[in-house]
Amino acid sequence: MLQQTRVAAVIPYYQRFLERFPTPAALAAAEEPELLAMWAGLGYYSRARNLQKAAALVAETFPSDYAALLELPGVGTYTAAAVASIAFDQPHAAVDGNVRRVVARLTNDGLVDAGRVADELLDSKQPGRWNQAVMELGATVCLPREPLCEACPVAKWCAARLAGTQNELPLKRKKPEAEYLEKTLLIIRSKGRLLLVPGVRVAGFWDLPEPFKGVRVGAKLGEFKHTITHRHYRFLVFEGVASRIPADGCWFEEEDLGKLPLSTTAKKALRVRV
């Protein structure tokens, strides 16, 4: 849940999630619509699906070595190394953004292979404590901007501090260019039901349809803006009347919408006013 997401935003989700799925077996048994509804708002839904797949695999026995942890869906080298070292004392350096920053500054090298250096520096007798110490150093002392070098316990070994380049490291990654897109969403109702289609922006969620063959676009109901990573959308919302519906479309009773994994864009569209 914490990947790309602030801790403060995650806490209520985490608590609700653990209440509803207190064990890996409970999570593994959940229906996907409920799982996605519990995750709605956190984004990056593949994480929820991977977490569920991993829960099914660890429900019986939790893997205790790095290679087996790495086999779990959604688990990459950082998570596998953190769990293997902290829970099972195995000598693997956990390299997150904090560690990458510390290593780039210690070596005064913006292009350094942080994983290799972190593995070389690792205290193999206490790998879990070592990993937590380096991560904590990055999170609390070797800050992205204005690192607290005066208070740093490794200052005398730090090449960037000696060279006075600590504020220039690590090198900034180029962000993807912003895209601005305009889309139309249609609110099509019939006999107390609403037409929905499988979402194209976020898989596993239902969304309002865009114009399709067999629909007459009616009055404009309003518009709203929505951003997904670097894509900035302007959604125009219209009424529609369908003489036939798309093959993957489904009618849903409006009173049941609360139980569905409904996309954020559909929720926003249903609230718009001209």
Binding site for ligand SF4 (CB under 6 A): 102, 105-106, 141-142, 147-149, 152, 154-155, 158, 160-161, 166
Closer CB to ligand SF4, 80 or 152, in the complex = 152
Residue pointed to by tokens 């019939």: 190
Q: Nearest distance from residue 64's CB to ligand SF4, in Å?
A: 32
Shortest spacing between CB 138 and ligand SF4, in angstroms: 8
Of 117 and 158, CB closest to ligand SF4:
158
Q: Which is nearer to ligand SF4, 41 or 144 (CB)?
A: 144
Q: Which two tokens stand for residue 250?
A: 């489904």
Which lies closer to ligand SF4 via its Cβ, residue 101 or residue 268? 101
**Number of neighbours of residue 161 by Cβ within 10 angstroms:** 20
Q: Are strands 231-242 and 179-187 parallel, antiparallel or unpaired?
A: parallel
Give all strands (DSSP E) within 71-228, no chain letters.
Answer: 179-187, 189-190, 193-198, 206-207, 215-228
C-beta of 34: minimal distance to ligand SF4 in Å?
Answer: 45
b/e per residue 79-104 (b: at least 16 CB within 10 A):
bbbbbbbeebebbbbbbbebbbbbbb
- φ, ψ of residue 186 to 5 degrees: the values are -115, 130
| CB closer to ligand SF4 out of 28 and 155 | 155
CB 46 within 8 Å of CB 205: no
We find the least distance from the C-beta atom of residue 130 to ligand SF4, in angstroms, to be 15
Residue 14 vs residues 1, 8, 17, 35, 268: alpha-carbon distances, Å: 8, 10, 5, 13, 24
Contact 190, 251 (CB under 8 A): yes
d(CA 195, CA 189): 6
Nearer to ligand SF4, 14 or 157 (CB): 157
For residue 98, the minimal CB distance to ligand SF4 (Å) is: 10
First to last CA, the chain: 36
Minimum CB distance to ligand SF4, residue 217 (Å): 58
Shortest Å, Cβ 23 to ligand SF4: 41
Nearer to ligand SF4, 4 or 167 (CB): 167
